[in-house]
Amino acid sequence: MNTGGNQPPETTVGVDVGGTFTDVVLLRGNDLITAKVPSTADQSVGVMNGIEKACEKAGIAPGDIDDFAHAMTVSVNALLEEDGAKTALVTTEGFRDVLEIGRQDRPSLYDINADKPAPLVPRRRRFTVGERATTEGVTQSVDAASVREVAASIRNSGVEAVAVCLLHAYAHPENESAVAEILEGELDVPVSVSHEVLAEFREYERTSTTVADAYVTPAIDAYIGRLVERAADAGVPEPHVMQANGGITDATTVRNHAVRTCMSGPAAGVVGARASVNDVAADRGLEGLVTFDMGGTSSDVSLVRDGAVEQTTNAKINGRPIKTPMVDVTTVGAGGGSKGWVDPGGALRIGPESAGANPGPVCYGRGGTDPTVTDANVVLGYIGSSTSLGGELSIDVDAARDSLAELADEAGLDGPLAAAQGMYRVANATMTRAIRAVTLERGYDPRNFGLVAFGGAGPMHAAALADRLDIGTVVAPRACGVLSAFGLLAADEKHDVVRTNRRPLDAIDVDEMEATYADLEASVRDECSDPDAAVVTRRADLRYAGQSFELTVPVDTPFDPEAAAKRFHAAHETAYGYRMDEAVDLVNVRAEAVVERADPAVTYDAPGDAVVDEREAHFADGAYTTTIYDRIRLPPGETVTGPAVVEQDESTVVVPPRWEATVRVDGTLVLTEVAQ
């Protein structure tokens, strides 16, 4: 979009850090430039490397960038790898072990040896204070002197962060605020307070989420600080950061509420899928889209229904509940870098261990020795020796084949091709289970959805997955190799707030409820960069009387209990297949403020003459001489008939036999099965 006169076009950049690659999308006016560089140990270095590469391709300086949005894996990696800050927990006397007791559910119902994950805070660093609050108010105030004694003990333990979670502080936070104020004065470490992190009942989940916030805060604060400094040195604006809820916010907010960045990258990918190809569902009469993001370490699956991204407040990361609003993503350990191995029973397995960015798959020639899914795709012919991943990495086909030969010997298979086919099938089976988890297991028929494939490896596997699930439409957006970065340019600014307010729905005083929602609305607007531009949506968590868990539904303004009950009955029937003739209870009230940003408008033009090569590739029913296309040369309206491989710097689309791919006006590829 040109701003008129002699002003240069607006330039925005989105950068997403993955386990293997850092992806960059730069939009200058309507021109889209993409780049992919290896991720680095200090992710901020890779981010700036990617920005510099994209700017070089665009012929501009980093200082010409007007807006910078970012998604990263710092917080989720800390939780998965359990290498976050040394954290202490301060809680109410008598409730020291809530974090360890948790719930009575078992990780594996019939496995007597299954262990729950260890608490992020061991018992020796869990401290208590004498205080008491009920849902009606404070009945025992905290003693300042005793809190200072606790602060001294915490100081002596050498912790790097503190979580404070007192009983019923979600309803009456006075004691919790007093404890936090003293600790902040006595200690030189960040303090996370539960009524600010999650003002919601259920002690275990609130404690777990608050502890997670404290656990990742030092890493997020240090990382964002480094990135802001590096960006400023290059003349790049301070980044907006993607939150788990699919919305961006300013860097200061995420430094103060670090847990909100969990699943930042996967959320950006789902937003990018919605923004780039949502109209495909409407054009083809589909119920929605299954988003399938296969990166270097894992595959992430989610749903887009009725043009909206599915969300949850019941996520778990590494077995620990994180109750902040998140894009509802199911993750499995099957990515391009996932290693193949043989279990004690002789079965071929995939992941979850990944080769990562360093050394990476064997075919990268960077010292990797264990065969990966990417190496299998090389042996199958989907990636060729002339393929240039990210525009930089060359492919060593012989090294990939040698690594698969060793795996074949170990598994008792007939050579590297058999091992590659086995790895491809096992990876696809793992990802198929993930897609079934977000469709069939939630009452949705996958045949009524399209499959949006992205990530560096997703479009290589998408048609095979669609075959297994009888999905008739596969979509590969133009920026499919860097779609999470593209999603950052499409993400709205978003803020959430929740407050527990338990009572029967038919006993609600509407005026009192309106006052509660008005207070929430004012609170969430205050977090917005432009409060006047924010659109606030009200929601409520409801359940049948006697149930243990809730469903979230939108509610009207002014609050209408009868309409809310009807929405809940319908949502319950969709989720569980039935509705009940029982009273409905209100549990939590929620407000979400959104400052909308326009979806990126990009131009696409291609010169044609896209055929660049042919090579042998192996599919489910045998080997085929397969045509290789350069994607950026495929003009709108052209149809590619399988078997074919469509290559671009950041990703590769495999079109199997009996499938065809049509190029849309924006460069998106839509794959459909050819009628026999």
Q: How far apart are CA 189 and CA 246, in angstroms?
A: 29
Sign of CA dihedral 152, 158, 161, 165: negative
pLDDT of residue 595: 95
Q: How far apart are CA 497 and CA 514, in angstroms?
A: 15
pTM: 0.88
Query: DSSP code of 90?
Result: E
Strands, DSSP E only, in 545-675? Answer: 551-554, 584-595, 611-619, 622-630, 639-641, 644-647, 652-655, 659-663, 669-673
Enumerate residue ranges in the chain where pLDDT < 50. 1-5
Residue 127: strand, helix, or coil: strand
CA dihedral 378, 381, 387, 389 (to 10 degrees): -40
Tokens of 635: 């003009």
79-220 matches 495-594 in fold? no
pLDDT of residue 443: 82
Tokens of 157: 């333990």
Residue 449: strand, helix, or coil: strand
Phi, psi of 182 (to 5 degrees): -65, -45
Q: 240 vs 61, 252, 346, 367, CA distance in Å?
A: 20, 9, 48, 36
Domain coordinates in residue numbering, the chain? 1-65, 79-220, 338-426, 495-594, 613-654+661-673
pLDDT of residue 575: 83
Pick among 3.40.50, 3.30.1540, 4.10.280, 3.30.160: CATH of 79-220 = 3.40.50
What kind of fold does domain 495-594 have according to CATH?
Dna Ligase; domain 1 (3.30.1490)
What CATH class does 1-65 carry?
alpha beta
pLDDT of residue 8: 63
Query: DSSP code of 393?
Result: B
Instruction: Report the Cα 95 to chain-centroid distance in Å.
Output: 33
- Amino acid at position 57, single letter: K
Pairing of strands 132-133, 315-317: unpaired
Q: Which of 9, 11, 7, 3 is nearest to 65 (CA)?
A: 11
pLDDT of residue 389: 58
Q: Which of 236, 241, 222, 230 is nearest to 72 (CA)?
A: 241
Phi, psi of 384 (to 5 degrees): -105, 170
Instruction: Report the Cα 368 to chain-centroid distance in Å.
Output: 27
Sign of CA dihedral 214, 215, 220, 223: positive
Strands ordered across the beta sheet of 126-129: 126-129, 87-92, 161-165, 191-193
pLDDT of residue 106: 74
Tokens of 628: 């290789």
Burial label for 646, CB within 10 Å (0-12, 13-18, 19+), is buried
pLDDT of residue 600: 84
